[in-house]
């Protein structure tokens, strides 16, 4: 069984929800990313999303865009990030998910990409700019290698489209809580509860909510309705703004984990 499935099953049995922080791989450098993954795990993370830096991150707001540019300026690349994951696997079994645009996968080669995921220990893949209607080969290779393919449901998704997304998703379904790009927001959308309930009525797969969750209070509110809570920009912002970010990320992540786990 995939590590992602194990985590959701384990925490569900404990009546707890899953905390999924996001960081940009290579920001500010790859060595720091390795340290951050281990720190996030010690701070209560259950799964870690690693953003693959890309020159045209159309789904991301200013915070993650800036992180991608910092990572690229330090020559972060997909093969270097795979190698980092391979090194991390000597120290941790935490599920790791790549969030990447389709272009880097296409350039690397689809089959080679999924074989590398399996070889180095990447458990799942999210490709926000790949329409589910065009994802057949991605899903096929994911099933062949045991790598989860996670698709996004938007607040504007029709019920017909949601059915297709949950059918092709594995690991979990990613609900984008608000329209637009990634970024911390002051409040959660009023239609979030209804939309998550619609998704959950169509599948038994876990549903995780991301895009806009910015503090422990919001994370706690999301955990009441979803199986997992994804926090990205709020953490990436801490990494990008000061030299003492390890301590600040540890403190912030521990507060998020406590809120999401209900402890």
Catalytically annotated residue among 27, 41, 49, 123? 49
Six-digit token pair at 39?
């720190």
| Strand partners for 97 | 49, 124
Q: Annotated catalytic, 164?
A: no
Tokens of 131: 């329409």
CA distances from 183 to 160, 232, 237, 257 (A): 28, 8, 9, 19
Instruction: Evaluate whether 89 touches 122 at the Cβ level (below 8 Å).
Output: no
Q: Which residues on adjacent β-strands are paired with residue 153?
A: 175
Contacts of 208 (CB under 8 A, 6+ apart): 18, 20, 172, 173, 174, 175, 226, 227, 228, 229, 230
Among the options 27, 60, 123, 227, which is catalytic?
60
For residue 248, indicate whether it is catalytic: no
Q: Which residues of 119-154 are buried (b: 16+ CB within 10 A; e: fewer)?
A: ebbbbbbbbbebebeebeebbebbeebebbbbbbbb
**Whole-angstrom Cα distance, residue 241 to residue 110?**
35
d(CA 42, CA 65): 27
Residues acting as catalytic residues: 49, 60
């Amino acid at each position: 069984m995939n590590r992602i499935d194990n985590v959701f099953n384990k925490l569900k049995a404990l009546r707890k929800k899953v905390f999924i922080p996001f960081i940009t791989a290579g920001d500010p450098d790859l060595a720091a990313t390795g340290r951050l993954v281990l720190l996030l795990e010690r701070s209560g993370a259950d799964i870690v999303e690693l953003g693959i830096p890309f020159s045209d991150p159309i789904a991301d707001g200013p915070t993650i865009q800036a992180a991608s540019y910092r990572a690229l300026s330090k020559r972060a690349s997909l093969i270097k990030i795979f190698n980092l994951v391979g090194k991390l696997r000597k120290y941790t079994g935490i599920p790791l998910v790549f969030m990447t645009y389709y272009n880097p996968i296409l350039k690397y080669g689809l089959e080679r990409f999924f074989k590398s995921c399996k070889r180095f220990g990447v458990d799942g893949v999210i490709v926000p700019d790949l329409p589910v209607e065009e994802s057949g080969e991605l899903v096929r290779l994911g099933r062949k290698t045991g790598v989860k393919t996670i698709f996004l449901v938007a607040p504007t998704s029709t019920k017909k489209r949601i059915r297709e997304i949950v059918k092709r998703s594995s690991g979990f379904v990613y609900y984008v809580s608000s329209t637009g790009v990634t970024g911390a927001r002051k409040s959660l959308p009023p239609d979030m509860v209804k939309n998550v309930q619609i998704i959950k009525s169509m599948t038994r797969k876990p549903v995780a909510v991301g895009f806009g969750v910015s503090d422990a209070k919001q994370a706690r509110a999301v955990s009441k309705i979803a199986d997992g809570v994804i926090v990205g920009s709020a953490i990436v912002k801490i990494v990008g703004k000061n030299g003492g970010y390890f301590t600040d990320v540890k403190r912030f992540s521990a507060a998020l984990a406590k809120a999401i786990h209900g402890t």
